[in-house]
Structure 1
Amino acid sequence: MATITKNPAPSNDATPGPLVKLPAPGARLATIAGSAVALAGTFMAWTWTSEFPGDLTVTGYPAGLQVLVLIGAALTLLFALSGQGIRGLGWLTPGGANAATRLTALGTLGTIGYTMGAIAAELGGVVNLEPGAWITGIGALIAAVAALALPFDQPYPADDSDPGAWARFRHSLTAPAAPRVSSKLPSWAEILIIVAGFALALIVFTYGIGTEGAEPFIGFLITVGFCFTGANRAGVVSRLTALTHKHRNVALTAAFAAALCFPLTQDNDYFALIGTNILIFATVALGLNVVVGLAGLLDLGYVAFLGVGAYTAALVSGTSSSVFDVQFPFWAAVLTGAGASLVFGVVIGAPTLRLRGDYLAIVTLGFGEIFRITVNNLNGKAGPDVTNGSQGITQIPDVVLFGWDLGQPLDIAGFTLGRNANYFLLMLFFTVIVVTVFRRSGESRIGRAWVAIREDETAATAMGINGFRVKLIAFALGATLAGLAGAVQAHVSYSVTPDSYKFASTAPPNSAFLLAAVILGGMGTVSGPLIGGALLFLIPAKLSFMENYQLLAFGLALIILMRFRPEGIIADRRKQLEFHDTGQLDVPEQRLPPEGGVSATKAGA
C-alpha cells in the first residue's frame, strides 16, 4: 500500500495550500504491466462468431474495436514509460505523465468493458467471449486501478489525509492546464509536426465517419474522448497549439489540405454526404459564433437565416416548383441568398438589438418561429403561393460550375469523386471563405469592439463604442454567412422544407444544436465551432437508435461539459482564465508604508 505524506513546503504551482503526494513506484510498474497485457490481448480472438460488428474472431491481427483498445493500451504504456523516466519519451509528456496515464487507462478499460458487455448482450451471454477478451479486460482493469494510485502531476489542495480515487480522477480533468512548452526545434521540424498533427486528425476523423454500426462508433467515442483528454493533460495538445499559433498560415494550409484529402479516402459516397453536411452545419455554427461568441448576443433563431438563404437560392435555381421563372448561375444564386439573409439580419436586428440578455433571446426565438410558420403558410391557401407550403421547393437542379456538373462523377488522378464528394469540395471552398472572414473580422478593430461589448456593454459604451451599430454589424455578418451555407444546402439536399428550420428537433441543423455546437466547441474560437458542429452532426448520424433521446443525451453532455470544461473543447486564453482558478489574487498586492520600522504587506480582498 502506498504511503501518504504531507508536504507543507511552498510550491511554484498555481494551486496553494498543503499538498498530498502519493509516491507509489509500484503503481507505475503495475500500470505498465497491465497495459502491456491488454495490448497483447488485442491480437487474440474476442468472440467466436462474425455476427458482432467487426471481425473479432481472428487471432494475429486486431480489427474493429480491437484496434481502438490497442491504441488506448499503447498510449497508456507510452505515458507510463514516460513517467518512469525512460530516456527519449520525455517529449511526450511535457505537462506531466500521471494524469495522462490515468485518463488513457480509464479510456482503455471503458472501451473493452463496453465491448465485452455489447458482445454478451447481442450474442446471448458471456459464454460468447473468447479468452482474448478476458485477457484484455483483466489487463486493462489492472492498469486502470494502478493508474488511480499514481501521484499527482500538480499540487493538490488536501482537505483530508486521503483524497480518494474519485478525487484523483476529478483532479486529472479539472487541474490547471499544462503550460505551453517553448519548442527549440528548427522551423522545418515544427512544420512537419504540424503537418503530422493534421494528418493524424484526418485519420481519426476518417476512421470515425467510416465506422459501420453503433457499437464500433460508441467505442470510437470512448477511446477518442479519453485519449484526447489524456494528451491534453500531458501537454501534447498545448505544444501543438503553440506551434500552430507560431505558424498560423502553415496550420491553416495543412488543415485545408487534410480536408481536401478526405473525399479521396472514401469509397462509400454516403460517408462523403455526411462530411458535406458536417461542413454545412459547422460553417453555420461558425457564423453563429460571430453573434454569440464574439459579440455576446444570444440568438435563438439563427437557423432562420440559413433557411432564408436556402429558400432564396432555391427560388432562383430554375426548378419547376419555383413560382419565379428564372435560373440564376450558381454564383448569382449564392450571392442572392447571402444578400437576402443580410437584409433580413438588418431588418430584424435594427429594432431588436436595443434589447439585452433574455429579452433579446426571446425576440430572436420568435423570429425563428415566425419564419418557419410564414414559409409554411405561403402555399396559395393561407397566403400567396410562393414556397409551396409544407411541401417545400423540390427538384432543385445540381450545380454547374465552369461546365462541371457536380451531380456527375468526376475522375481525378485515378480517384472517382461522386456527387456528394463534389459537393464536399464545393462546401469546403465556402468554409474557407467563412473562416477567413471570421479570422479577419475577429482580429480587426470591429472584432475588438465586439469583445468589449460582450464583456461589459456599459463600460464599452462609456469608452466611446457605438454598441448598437457594432451589434448590428455582428448580426448582419452572421446572417450573411448563414445565407452562404444555406444556398449550398439547398442544392445538396435537392429540396427545402419548413420543418428543416425548427428551434429544436431530433435532426440538425436547428437553432438549439447550432448554439450547443458553439458552446461545446468553444465560443470565440475558429476551430471550436467546427469541431463542435462536426460532433453534433456526426453523433446523431451514427447513433440513429438514439433518435428519441438525442435531446436528453445532449443535455446531459452539456451539463457534464459545464462541470468539467466550461470553456469548451477548444478555448482561448481569456476563457481559461475566466472559468478556472489560477491561484492568483483578484486584486494585486499593495505595499503599505513601514510603521514603526516594520514593513507590512496587505493583499487586497
Structure 2
Amino acid sequence: MTTQTTAPDAASTPATAPSGLIGIPPQIGRALATGGGILTVISTFLAWTWTSAFPGDLTVYGYPGGLQVLVLIGGALTTLFALASYGVKGLGWLVPAGADGAIKFAALATFATAWYTVIAISTNLGGVVNLEPGGYLVAIGSLAALLGALALPFEHPEADPIDPDDTSWEHFKHRAAHRWTTVKAAFASGTARPVGKLPSYVEILIIVAVLALGLFVFTYGIGTEYDELFIGFLLTAGFGFAALNKSGLIAQASQITARHQNITVCGAFVAAAAFPFTQTDDQYATLGVYILVFATVALGLNIVVGLAGLLDLGYVAFLGVGAYAAAMVSGSPSSPFHVHFPFWAAALVGAAASLVFGVLIGAPTLRLRGDYLAIVTLGFGEIFRITANNLDGTSGPDITNGSNGISSIPNLDILGFDFGAIHNILGFEIGRFANYFFLMLVITAVVVLVFRRSGDSRIGRAWVAIREDETAALAMGINGFRVKLIAFAVGASLAGLAGTVQAHVTYTVTPEQYLFAGPIPPNSAFLLAAVVLGGMGTIGGPLIGASLLFLIPNKLQFLGDYQLFAFGIALILLMRFRPEGLIPNRRRQLEFHEDAEAPTVLTKAGA
C-alpha cells in the first residue's frame, strides 16, 4: 500500500498556519478562491461584449465560446481544487499531493486568460465601455480567486537533516527514522491517503482518458483560428499543466503509464492516427505532418544527446543529406541522375547516405569531448549547407542545383495509393498532407521502436555510462570510441529516414532549409532545444518538445520582429522552473532538484 502525504487542507490547518504572500488568513483565502472560481464559471455563460467584432463572438448568453471556454476550464479547475482542499467527499483523488499549490496555478491560469481577454476587448474595441456585465464579472471573479490563492501558505517539503553525502549505517538509520516519523505525522494529522493499486482495466481506462485528453488539447491548440485564442490557449494550458503537476495527478498518471508502457505507446499512436479525422481540410494536417517530421528527427538526436551525451550542433545536416539523397532518386527533373526509385528504395538510399556521412564525420571527430565536439559538429552542419549551395555546375559539379535545390519532386505512389490525391476513408476525406501524416506516423513508430530497443540493450547501457562519466566507463572496459560512433551513425540514419519523407512533402529541397538557427524549425538549434526542453533520454519528451517548438513559432508569426523575443522569454522561464524538461526521467529530476528526495510519496515496507 502506498501512503501519500499531502499539503494540509482546511480541516487540518491550524489557526497559526503561515499566511501566503498577501497576509490574509488561509481560511479566508481558501473561501475567496472558491467563491472567485464559482463566479468565474458563472461569468462564462454571460456576454462579455456587445459586438461580435471581437473574434469568437462573446455576445452570446448561456453558451460559452472562444476564449470563454478556456476561462471556464480554468475556473472549473480552481473551484474543484478549492473544494477538494475542504475535504469534499469524492474529490480527494484530485489532489493526492496537496491542494494549495494546485489552487495557485489554476487561479493564475484563470486570471491570466480572463484579464488578457478583457484587456484585448478594451484595446481592440476602444475602451472598457465595450464590456458587458459578464466581462466585469469575470474580471472580478478571477481576481478574487487569485488573491485567495495567494493567501494560501507556501508548503515546502521538509529538508532531510542528515548530510546526503554520508553513506554510513548511522546515516541510513537516521534517514529511515526521519521518513517513518513523517509518515506517522501524516497519518496523525489526517493528511495521508492510502492508495492501493487499481485494477488493470481501470488503469487502462485511465490511460485511454489521458490520451484522449492529450489528443483534444493538441487538436484544439493546432486548430485555433485567431491569435487571441492561441495566446489564451497557451496561458491556460501552461498554468493548467503546472496546476495538475502540483496536485500530483501528473505523477500518478506517469506511474500508471509506466506500468503499462506497451499499451501506452500503442494507444499514443492510435490517438495520433485519429488526428487527421478530426480535421475538415488539410490546413492543420499540414502542420501535423511537419510536426511529425521535426519530432522524429528530434527523437533521433535524443540518441546522440540524451543517451550518449554527445553535443551535436549540426544534426540538421543529416536530415538534409537524407532529403537530398531521396530527392535525387525519386524522379525529379532537377536531379542529375534521372532515375525514379520506389519509395522503399529511396528511403533506404536516404538513410544509408546519412549513415555514411555520420560515420565519415564521426570517425575523425568523436575522440573529442564536450565543447570541442560541439564546435566540430557545428562546422559540419555549415559545411554541408555551403557545399550543397555550391554544387551548381558553376562553383562545383552540378549535383544539387545550387541554391535552387532539387524541385518538382513527385508525390509518392505506394502500391497504387497516390499520396497526392484525396481519398475517402470511413466516410472522411483525407487530403495530401493527411496521407503523408499517416506515412510519417509509421516512420515515427519505427524510430520509437529503434530508440526503445537500443536504449534497453547492452549498447544503450554503454551509451548511458559514457554520458554519465566517460573516464569511468573506459576504465570498466567500454570501448568509448566505438560506442559513440554507433550512436552517431544510428542517430544520423534515423534523421535521413525522416528526410526522405520531408523531401516529398515539401516538393523542393534547398540548402536554406537546413540552417543552424532560424525563425522556423527544423534547424539544429530548435532540434537541440526540443530534446533538452522535452526531456533528454526519454521517448515522449522530444516528441512533445518538438511539437511545442514547431507549433508555437508558427502560431506567433503575428508578433513579427518580436516573435523570437517572446519565444526566448518563454524558454527561459521554462528552463528556470523546470530545467529537467517537460517529461524527465528520474535521474534528471534528482540532478536538478535538491529536494527531490523529500518524502512526498513514501512506501511502508511490507504494507
TM-score by length of 2: 0.88
Q: 1:333 to 1:324 in 2, by over 3 A?
A: same
Query: Match of 1:252?
Result: 265
Letter of the structure 1 residue corresponding to residue 142 of structure 2 = A
Name the counterpart of 1:489: 502
Return the match for 1:270 from 274, 280, 283: 283
Report the counterpart of residue 530 of structure 1 in structure 2.
543
Cα deviations by residue, 1:153-188 (Å, 9 ceiling, x for unpaired): 54478xxxxxxxxxxxxxxxxxxxx99986522111
Q: Can you list the C-alpha shifts for 1:306-339, whole angstroms capped at 9, x where unaligned?
A: 0000000000000111111100001110110000
Structure 1 residue 537 displacement after superposition: 0.5
Does the residue aligned with 1:297 lie in a helix, a strand or coil?
A: coil
- 1:367: how far off? 0.3
2:595 aligned partner: 582
* 1:497-512 correspondence runs (5 A): 497-512=510-525
8 Å CA contact retained: 2:6, 2:192: no
Structure 1 residue 37 and structure 2 residue 30: aligned? Answer: no
Q: 1:50 to 1:473 in 2, by over 3 A?
A: same
What are the Cα deviations for residues 547-574 of structure 1, in whole angstroms up to 9, with x where unaligned?
4334333332332222211101110000
Q: Closer, same or farther in 2 for the Cα pair 1:51/1:450, shift >3 Å?
A: same
CA distance in 2, matches of 1:207, 1:190: 26
Is the 8 Å Cα contact of residues 427 and 488 (structure 1) preserved in structure 2?
yes
Paired letter, 2:362: G
Distance 1:12 1:411 in 2: 53
User: Given that residues 506 and 547 in structure 1 are in contact (C-alpha distance below 8 angstroms), is that contact kept between their aligned partners in structure 2?
Assistant: no
Aligned 8 A contact 1:396 1:491 in 2:
yes
Which residue of structure 1 aligns with residue 114 of structure 2?
Answer: 112
By how many angstroms is 1:24 displaced? 1.8
Mean Cα deviation higher: 48-57 or 58-67: 48-57
* Paired position in structure 1 for 2:174: none
Between 544-553 and 195-204, the greater mean CA deviation after superposition: 544-553
Q: 1:182 to 1:345 in 2, by over 3 A?
A: farther
Return the match for 1:140 from 96, 121, 142. Answer: 142
Q: For residue 215 of structure 1, what is the aligned residue in structure 2?
A: 228
Does the residue aligned with 1:545 lie in a helix, a strand or coil?
Answer: helix
Tell me the residue number matched to 1:233.
246
Specify the alignment match of 1:450 in structure 2. 463
The match for 2:29 is 27
Following superposition, the deviation at residue 341 of structure 1 comes to 0.2
Task: Out of 493-502 and 143-152, give the one that drifted further.
Answer: 143-152
Please list the CA deviations of residues 378-435 of structure 1 after superposition, one character each: whole Å capped at 9, or x if unmatched: 1111011111111111110101111100111111111110111111111000011111
* Counterpart code for 1:72: G
Check whether the contact 1:31–1:77 (CA below 8 A) recurs between aligned residues. Answer: yes
8 Å CA contact 1:42–1:132 kept in 2: the answer is: yes
- Aligned residues of 1:273 and 1:421 also touching (Cα < 8 A): yes
Map 1:538-577; keep pairs closer than 5 Å.
538-577=551-590
Shift of 1:45: 1.0
Distance 1:20 1:114 in 2: 33
* TM superposition shift of 1:454: 0.8
Tell me what 1:518 maps to.
531
Distance 1:20 1:353 in 2: 57
Q: How has the CA–CA distance of structure 1 residues 44 and 239 changed in structure 2, closer, same or farther, with 3 Å as cutoff?
A: same
Q: Residue 99 of structure 1 aligns with which residue? A: 101
Task: Give 1:289 deviation, angstroms.
Answer: 0.6
Q: Quote how far apart the aligned CAs of 1:137 are.
A: 1.2
Instruction: Name 1:589's counterpart in structure 2.
Output: none
> CA 1:67–1:453 in structure 2 vs 1: closer, same or farther (change >3 Å)?
same
> C-alpha distance in 2, partners of 1:354/1:381?
36
Partner of 2:346 in structure 1? 333
> Cα deviation per residue 1:1-30 (whole Å; 9 max; x = unaligned)?
xxxxxxxxxx9999xxxx974462221111
**1:42-69 CA deviation, whole Å, 9 max, x = no partner?**
1111112222221211111000100000
Q: CA deviation at 1:584?
A: 6.1
Q: Retained in 2: the 8 A contact 1:45–1:131?
A: yes
* Offset, 1:583: 7.3
1:175-225 deviations in Å (ceiling 9; x for gaps): xxx999865221111100100110011011111111011110010000000
Q: What is residue 51 of structure 1 aligned with on the other side?
A: 53
Q: Does the aligned pair in 1 maintain the 2:557–2:563 contact within 8 Å? A: no
Aligned partner of 1:25: which letter?
Q
Corresponding residue SS for 1:267: coil
Structure 2 gaps, min length 5: 8-15, 20-24, 160-190, 599-607
| Secondary structure in 2 matching 1:140 | helix
CA distance in 2, matches of 1:179, 1:565: 27
Q: Aligned partners of 1:377, 1:318: CA distance in 2, in Å?
A: 22
Matched position secondary structure for 2:274: helix
Q: So what's the TM-score if we normalise by structure 1?
A: 0.88
Aligned to 1:427: 440
Structure 2: which amino acid aligns with 1:108?
T
CA contact (8 A) 1:42 1:136 kept: yes
**Where in structure 2 are the equivalents of 1:107-186 lying within 5 Å?**
107-155=109-157, 183-186=196-199
Rounded Cα–Cα distance in structure 1 between residues aligned with 2:378 and 2:400 = 22
SS at match of 2:473: helix
Q: Does residue 261 of the first structure (1) align with residue 274 of the second (2)? A: yes
Check the 8 A contact 1:315/1:323 in 2, yes or no.
Answer: yes
Please name the residue that 1:461 is paired with: 474
Instruction: Within 5 Å, give how 1:185-204 maps onto structure 2.
Output: 185-204=198-217
The correspondence of residues 363-442 of structure 1 with structure 2, limited to 5 A, is: 363-442=376-455
User: Aligned partners of 2:108, 2:126: CA distance in 1, in Å?
Assistant: 26
Provide Cα deviations, 1:103-153, integer angstroms capped at 9, x if missing partner.
Answer: 010110000111111112222222222221110111000001001111345
- Partner of 2:84, secondary structure, is helix
Is the Cα–Cα contact under 8 Å of residues 408 and 418 in structure 1 kept in the other structure?
yes
Give me the whole-angstrom Cα distance separating, in 1, the residues matched to 2:6 and 2:435: 52
Q: Which residue of 1 aligns with 2:297?
A: 284
* Residue aligned with 1:411, SS: strand
Task: Give the 3-state SS of the residue equivalent to 1:575 in structure 2.
Answer: helix
Task: State how far apart, in whole Å, the 1-side matches of 2:419 and 2:194 are.
Answer: 46
SS at 2:429 equivalent: strand
Give the corresponding residue for 1:173. Answer: none
CA shift for structure 1 position 509 = 0.4
RMSD between aligned residues:
2.0
The C-alpha deviation readout for 1:343-383, integer Å capped at 9, x for no partner, is 00000000010111111111000000000000000111101
